[in-house]
Every structure is written in C-alpha cells, then in structure tokens.
Amino acid sequence: MDFSAIQWIFQQISAILDKIKNQSTKALTMPHEITLEVLLSREVCRLLDTFAAAMNIQVVFFSHQGKILKRGRSFGNSPYCTFMQEHFFGVERCLQLDSDMRRKCLALGRAVSYRCHAGLNEITAPVKILGETAGFIVFGQFRTTETPPECIKNTPEALASFNAIPFFDEESAASLEDMINVLIEYIISKELISYSGDFRYHRLLSFIDTHLQGKPTLHQAARYLNMSDSGLTHFLHDRCKTSFKKLLIEKRIAYAEKLWKEDPTLSISEAALRSGYDDPHYFTRIYRKVRRITPGMARKEKPEQE
C-alpha cells in the first residue's frame, strides 16, 4: 500500500471521529476487575478496527497490566506465527518481547515499531490519560522484508504463510507508526477515550487533598482532570450529586476533624488554618451549617472563646 493510500485512510477516520465527537458519544464501561483500564466507545473500537482492517492488520487492546481487553474482529495468530511458535520458539518468548516493548513505548511516550523473533513487525502505542497509563493499543502484524527467515526456506507451507503476511516498505511502515501516534493523540484530545467516573472522582479528591491549604478552584481542578469547567460541574452534579464548592467544604471539615482526632487539644483557629480557612470565625459558621454542631462540640470541649 502506497503512502497516499495510507493518508486517505487516515483522513477518512479523522472525519468520522469528528462526527462521533459531535454526537457526544458515551464511553463503554469495562469490567470492574480491570483497574485503570482504557475505556473505549464502541464507535472508537470499530474505527480503530476498521483502520487496521484496511491495512490488512489487526488491532488488540491491552490493559495497563498487559491483559488483553479486546482483540479486533475475529483475528488470532496468523498461521505463520503459529508455525514458528510450535517449531522454533514458544509463546512465552513472544509474551516477554511484548512486555519489553510496552515498557519501551512507555519510556519514550510514543508508539514504537519492532520486529519479533519470527521476523514480523508490530506497533505498540501507549494510551495515557491524566499522566497515568491507561493501556496499550497494538497494531500488527506486518513485514518490512520480502526475505523469509533461513529456517523456513525449505518448508513450502511456512513460506506460503510468510508471504501471506501484509508487506510494507520501510517508508510506509514509518508513516503508519506516525499516523497511529497522531490518531491516538487526537482521540484522547477529543475525550473519546476516558477513565471511568470513579477513577476521575478519586483523582479529583486527590487534587483537593494536595491543595487543601491553598485556594483550589473549579477551573484548576478541571484543568488537572483535562476537562472543561462546565464538564466538571456537570460530572459532579450528575454522577456525584454535589458541587465543587460543597466537596471542598466537606474535605476541609473532614480534615479538621481528623486533626482533632489526632490531637483533641488543637485549637479551633489552628485546625481552621490547617484546613484552608484563614478566618476561624468563618470556619465556625461553615462547620455549624454543615454539621449542625459547633467545632468545640465536635472536639468534645467547650467552644473556644475567640
């Protein structure tokens, strides 16, 4: 396949991705036992699958631990791979190489192309969201050489299966790697891949905990989560039945109570300051409104005379 054909395929997929974004496609929730997994909408799965099929290769989705989440279409190992594994090296050697390449693409922060023990090429791309590794997408297998390994030159069946593997010249293979990088970055930037709501919520709590003594804002939290201000507001309202302001107040009050549990003699003024309130009187008003008791009652002492 020449470079112009590859460009055309990528342009078509980008156009369809824009259409999906405009339709506000929702994410497909993966099984709960897989943590920090890539959440892909059915449409995105189908598009990546179609992209791979157009190139006559397959796509496999992995969790960040390396567990297969989804294998594109009905593809499995090619007859050539099966032959090589059965006669020259085992599956474990392939799995180890795959694991090594996942670590390499993480270190580089981009897709990497590599040649396996059987002389075939694959491209492994990392998917990162909010600075965390969500998973991997692997495209393959193809070959960049027309010369078969010496060990199969006298085996007609193996030669036929080798020649059946899609062939890309070096320039086309490099272009394919670049396009996969751009494609995945585009999908992430358009929020067509996202973490589950639970993970996003816990990331938000972590952000608030880190900035509790400062003055964290909705805008700062939204940027941290790679969301818009309105997107975070709707997320908290629809999924958590709260607001950023209420969540921040609850976290600050809970932190003050934690301080009193550790040291019941800690003054209200000091607890307020450590919890992010410069004015202890304002902290007391907020505390009474939320807990229906005074801070002094909460720490099981008489209210401090301010």
Q: At a CB cut-off of 8 Å and minimum separation 6, what does 204 contact? A: 221, 224, 225, 232, 247
Q: What angle do CA 291, 292, 298 make, to 5 degrees?
A: 60
pLDDT at 277 over 80: yes
For residue 211, count other CB atoms closer than 10 A to its CB: 16
Contact 242, 218 (CB under 8 A): no
Better-predicted residue by pLDDT, 259 or 226: 259
Q: Identify the structural domains of the chain with CATH numbers, from first to last.
A: 3-194 (3.30.450), 197-298 (1.10.10.60)
Above pLDDT 90, what percent of the chain? 36
Q: 135-149: per-residue pLDDT in tens?
A: 888 888 899 999 999
Nearest to 63 by CA among 140, 134, 125: 134
SS3 assignment, position 177: helix
Contact 55, 1 (CB under 8 A): yes
Give the global pTM.
0.58
How high does pLDDT run on average in the chain? 80
Q: How confident is the model at residue 232 (pLDDT cuts 50, 70, 90)?
A: very high
Determine the pLDDT at residue 29.
Answer: 34
Any long-range contacts for 109-112 (C-beta under 8 Å, 24+ apart)? Answer: 110/181, 111/177, 111/180, 111/181, 111/184, 112/177
